[in-house]
Amino acid sequence: MQRVRIVLWVLVALAMAALAFLMLRPAQQTPTQQQPMTISSVGGPFTLTGSDGKPFSSVSLGGKPYAIFFGFTHCPDVCPTTLARMVRLRQQLGAGDRPFEILFVTVDPERDGPSEVGKYAELFNSPVTGLTGSPAQIDQVKKQFGIFSQKVPDSNGGYSVDHTSTVLLFDGRGEFSGTIAPEEGDSAALAKLKRITV
C-alpha cells in the first residue's frame, strides 16, 4: 500500500508540474503575429474579381469606408456568423442605408469562383460584395491585409480552412482604422464603425 501511495504522489506531482508548464509557457505565436506589419501599411489599393467575373478594383469603392473579411464559402459557421453580424451592426448604426461597404474575400479561390462568392454574399439579405481572384491575386491581397489562412484536411476527405477571423475596417480615405474581433462586444464594434463612417 505504501508503494501505491508513493506512486500516486508521484503522479500528482507530475500532474502539477504539467499544469504549471501549461500555465506558465508563453502563448503560442500565431502566424499573423509573426508577420511584421506597420499599421499604415495595412490595406491599400487592390484588384480582385467580382461575382460577375469582371475585375473589381478598390477604386470602385469611390471613397466609401469599408469592412473587409476573409473567409470561404464552404465555411458554415464562423464566416456566415461574422458576415451576418456585420450586416446587423450596419443596420444598428442607423447612418443611412449603406454607410460602409462589406467586402467578403475568399481565401479558397480553388473552390470559390465568382458565382460561388456572389451567391454566398446573397445569403445576408443586404448588400455584401463577394470577391475572388487567381490564387496569386488572393495571396497578394492576403499579404497586403495581413491575413493568414491554411488548409486543414477534414474527416470527409475534403478540407477546411483555418483563417484570420477579424474584420478589418478602412475609412473613406482607404486608411486602416481598426479591427473587429468575433469575441468583441457589439458596443465596442459599433464605436469603431462610427469612427469610419463620420
Partner 1 sequence: MKRVLLAALLLASCSKSGPPDLQISDAWARETVLGQTETAAYMTIDNRGSGDDRLISVEAAAPAKAMLHASGSSGGISRMRHMGAGLALPAGTAVQLKPGGTHVMITGLGGPLHTNDVVKLRLQFEKSGPRDIDVSVGAGGR
Q: Rule CB under 8 A: is residue 125 a binding residue for partner 1?
A: yes
Nearer to partner 1, 64 or 85 (CB): 85
Least Å from the CB of residue 120 to partner 1: 6
Rule CB under 8 A: is residue 129 a binding residue for partner 1? no
Q: Does 163 bind partner 1 (CB under 8 A)?
A: yes
CB nearer to partner 1: pick between 45 and 119: 119
State how far the alpha carbon of 181 is from the alpha carbons of 80, 86, 126, in Å: 14, 11, 21
- What is the number of other CB atoms lying within 10 angstroms of the CB of residue 64? 16
Q: Is 181 in the site for partner 1 (CB under 8 A)?
A: yes
Contact (CB, 8 A) for 159 and 62: no
Check binding of 76 to partner 1 (CB under 8 A): yes
Nearest Cα neighbor of 106 from 88, 84, 128, 124 is 128
For 34-61, give the DSSP string: HS---GGGS----EEE-TTSSEEEGGGG
Site residues for partner 1, window 84-113 (CB under 8 A)? 84, 87-88
- Residue 109, all three cell numbers: 479561390
CA-CA distance, 170 to 68, in Å (whole number)? 8
Q: Is 73 in the site for partner 1 (CB under 8 A)?
A: yes
Residue closer to partner 1, measured from CB, 124 or 170: 124
Binding interface with partner 1 (CB under 8 A): 27-33, 73-78, 80-81, 84, 87-88, 115-116, 119-120, 122-126, 148, 152, 154-156, 160, 162-166, 181-183
